[in-house]
Structure 1
């Protein structure tokens, strides 16, 4: 996949800098997006109209030349790194090698993302390179606009997610209830941990992995992002939130469902119905040209009209509708655009969740 970097070029022209610089490993989504290369250790990517890579060692050099989208791939050794170490010490040698790499490509000034390493920035400034922070993270905004190929990658991950959620539903629906109001499956008490294991095994079989899954019951379900633990109980809501990443494409999906085995109380049923209405209302409001803030506001209206607090109506509330309505999803599970207060205009190619 070749990304459209024309917006990044326009950003560099507007900022009057020669290039955009990254120094991180490929777990940084911006790094992976720009370089097209997966490496566990930090490396340098420069965009100056072309993508150019610089590696500290030769270990990844051959693979980067074969797999990355870079026009050039170089190593510290190409800039006399060992000699620089002898003369200046290791840290200063690294600064000089990166500065030499930039000079070789006629780059005297760079913009860098908000989390760019401070030591690298200060070291380059010490070598006369102008380093300007890019607080809005232009590259992150660029990759928020998905190509058709990227949309399909999210869909593939979502299909795996749906299979995992179906496995969780199967376990919950097939459970009985013991005399302590616990869910029991195949003779054993059904726990958050057991359902989470089934979800994660299903995802692995579909080529996906994830760091954590939420299966939270009762009071745990009311605490945002509590992973949940222990027995699952009848008559209480069970939140299942699954956000895997494809091991091949590295694109995420995100899916949340509420289950209940038994009989819901009046309050739980009311909140469930309100949330279903808020979700439908937000989806109705979702279209190109509206803002993420407006979509979030439509969901807030539903709760506020029912007399429940939101962070819009009470910024200090700890109950009621306190999350955002949604967010972008792609190489990061939470990325632009925001479907929340301050969320900007939604554009063709944005992929968002709606999950009040």
Structure 2
């Protein structure tokens, strides 16, 4: 994939700097996006109109020359790292090598991502390089608008996500109930941990990985980020939130469904129906040029009209709708734009979640989440999974 970095060029012109510098390993999404290179140890990427890589050590040098999205690939040895390390010590030598690398490309001033190693910044300043923190997150802004290829990566991850969700629903649906109201499958209590394991195994079989997921039942589901633990219970809400990353493309998907084995209470049914209506209202508001606070507001309207609190109506509430309506998604599971009161303008190519929810320990929690891409004339919902509360 060749990203369009025109917006980054404009940022460099406006900031009055010669280049953009990243010092991180490839788990940093900005680093991976700019370099196109996957490495477990930190390396330096310079963007000065072209992408240029520098490796202090030579371990990744040969592979980077073949695989990286870079005009030039250089190493510490090209700038006398060994001699400098002997004279100045390894850290100052690294600073001197990076400074020499920048100087060789006519770069005397750089902007850096908001999260950039302080030691690297201080070391470069000592070598006469002007270092400015980019508080706007210019590369992150560029990443927010996805190419058709990136959207296909996300779509692929979402299909794997749906297979994992189907496996989780299958387990819950097939379970019976013991005298304590716990779900039992194949003679053993069905726990959050067991369902999580099945989700993760299914994702692996579809080329995806996930370190964490949410399978939260009953009162656990009243906390939006409680991972859940222990036995799953009949007649109680079970929130399942899966956000895998495709191991090949590194792009994420995200989806939440709420299930109930048994007989949902009247309150739970009402909450589920309201949340589905809030989801639909927010989705209907999505189109290019719309501010995200309008989308968020559409979900809030549904809840507030039903007499339920939201953070918009009561910023101190601890129950009701207590989070934003969604977030951007791509190389990071949470990225720009935020679908919240803060308000950002939706553009074609933005991939966002729509995930309203209600929470109260007395009822539990309900959340329903779809994944959308903003198109030239509206949106496409990348989620194909049914929305049903009762599964048995």
The TM-score, its normalising length taken from structure 2, stands at 0.90
Deviations 1:257-306 (A, max 9, x none): 00000111121111111111100000000111101111011111111111
Question: 1:101-116 residue pairs with structure 2 within 5 A?
Answer: 101-116=101-116
Pairing of 1:160-171 with structure 2 (within 5 A):
160-171=160-171
Quote the residue 1:208 is aligned against: 208
Q: CA deviation at 1:85?
A: 1.4
1:65 equivalenced with 2:65 (yes/no): yes
Which structure 2 segments of 5+ residues have no match? Answer: 357-392
* DSSP 3-state at the match of 2:353: coil
Which stretch has the larger CA shift, 45-54 or 318-327?
318-327
Query: After the TM superposition, which of the residue ranges 156-165 and 293-302 deviates more from structure 2?
Result: 293-302
Displacement of 1:323 in angstroms is 1.3
Inter-partner Cα distance in structure 1 for 2:314 and 2:341: 13
1:345 matches 2:342: no
Shift in Å, 1:187: 1.5
Tell me the distance in 2 between the aligned counterparts of 1:341 and 1:129. Answer: 39
Question: Given the alignment of the two structures, is residue 25 of structure 1 paired with residue 15 of structure 2, yes or no?
Answer: no
Deviations 1:307-331 (A, max 9, x none): 1111111111111101111111100
Residues 91-141 of structure 1 deviation map (CA, whole Å, 9 limit, x = unaligned): 111110000000000000111011011111111111111111111100000
Distance (whole Å) between structure 2 residues aligned to residue 293 and residue 141 of structure 1: 18
Where does residue 369 of structure 2 map in the other structure? none
Give the whole-Å Cα distance in 2 for the aligned partners of 1:122 and 1:298.
46
SS at match of 1:239: strand
Write the distance in 1 (CA, Å) between the matches of 2:297 and 2:333. 22
Partner residue, 2:219: 219
| SS of the residue 1:220 aligns to | helix
1:343 Cα offset (Å): 2.9
Where does residue 241 of structure 1 map in the other structure?
A: 241
Note if 1:51 corresponds to 2:51.
Answer: yes
Aligned to 1:297: 297
The number of residues matched between the two structures is 356
Residue correspondence of structure 1 range 145-184 to structure 2 within 5 A? 145-184=145-184
Following superposition, which runs of at least 4 residues in structure 1 exceed 3 angstroms of deviation?
none
User: 2:100 matched to 1:100?
Assistant: yes
RMSD, matched Cα: 0.7
Deviation at 1:229, TM superposition (A): 0.6
Match of 2:280 in 1: 280
User: Partner of 1:314: helix, strand, or coil?
Assistant: coil
SS of 1:146's equivalent in the other structure is coil
> Where do residues 35-46 of structure 1 align in structure 2 (5 Å cutoff)?
35-46=35-46
SS at match of 2:352: coil
Q: Distance in 1 between matches of 2:292 and 2:55?
A: 39
Per-residue deviation, residues 129-159 of structure 1 (Å, max 9, x unmatched): 1111111100000011000000000000000
Larger RCO, structure (CA 8 Å, separation 6 or more): 2
The one-character-per-residue Cα deviations of 1:170-205 (angstroms, maximum 9, x if unpaired) are 111111111111111112111101110110000000
Q: 1:330 is matched with which residue?
A: 330
1:191-232 CA distances to partner (integer Å, 9 max, x unpaired)?
101110110000000000011011000000111111111110
Aligned to 2:324, the other structure's residue is in SS state coil
Q: Distance in 1 between matches of 2:249 and 2:204?
A: 14
Secondary structure of the residue aligned to 1:353 is strand
TM-score, scaled relative to structure 1:
0.99
Q: For the residues of structure 2 that align with 1:123 and 1:67, how far apart are their CA atoms?
A: 29
Once the two structures are superposed, the pairs formed by residues 113-152 of structure 1 within 5 Å of their partners are 113-152=113-152
Alignment-derived partner of residue 85 in structure 2 = 85
Q: Tell me, in whole angstroms, the C-alpha distance in 2 between the residues paired with 1:122 and 1:79.
A: 20
Distance 1:42 1:315 in 2: 40
- Determine the C-alpha separation between the residues in 2 that align with 1:119 and 1:237: 48
The DSSP-based 3-state class of the residue aligned with 2:354 is coil
Deviation sequence 1:13-62 (CA, Å, 0-9, x none): 01111000000000000000000000000000000000000011111000
